[in-house]
Amino acid sequence: MQKFQQQLQDQQPQIERISVLADEILTTCHPNAVRFVRYYLTITQTRWQQAVHRSDQRAVRLHDALRAARGSAALVDELLAWLTEAHALLSAKEKDAVSDDLTVVESLLREHLVCSLLTHSNLHPSNIIDHLTNCF
């Protein structure tokens, strides 16, 4: 995008040259042609301003989208790291024997249900991470 904006700015001297040429033409042209020359000069200047303005708006939108994509990538990395840790923890816990104590089994079942409900809910991923870390 910067390359495009630089190329656009490189065209600025040509637009200024058009204005100078229009002024020269206005000094020597027939009075009936003055209106048409001014009309086309106005169109040229307006279109140029529109092109520069649209380019600036597009650059802002692209930078915002890039920032959002980087934020999403960071969140995905955070989620992957958490999943890796959770997988390792679950693998370690899987090796442990299940207790014969009914209260411990019920507690584990409740934790599992809460975590299962959270992962299937429509919460934002960062909120799910907060809730899930509280489960463990």
| Residue 110 contacts residue 135 (beta carbons within 8 Å) | no
- How many CB atoms within 10 Å of residue 129? 19
Q: How confident is the model at residue 123 (pLDDT cuts 50, 70, 90)?
A: low
Average pLDDT of span 68-96: 88
Per DSSP, the three-state class of 11 is coil
Q: Does residue 54 surpass a pLDDT of 90?
A: yes
Could you say which DSSP state residue 33 is in? G
Q: What integer pLDDT is reported at residue 133 of this predicted model?
A: 64
Rounded Cα distance between 55 and 53, Å, is 5
Query: CA quadruple 29, 35, 38, 44: dihedral positive or negative?
Result: negative
- For the stretch 127-136, contacts whose Cβ atoms lie closer than 8 Å and that sit 24 or more positions apart, written own/partner, are 129/78, 129/79, 129/82, 132/82, 132/86, 133/82, 135/111, 136/86, 136/89
Q: What integer pLDDT is reported at residue 16 of this predicted model?
A: 92
Percentage of the chain beyond pLDDT 70 is: 88
Q: Which residue has the higher pLDDT, 133 or 13?
A: 13
| Residue 15 contacts residue 48 (beta carbons within 8 Å) | yes
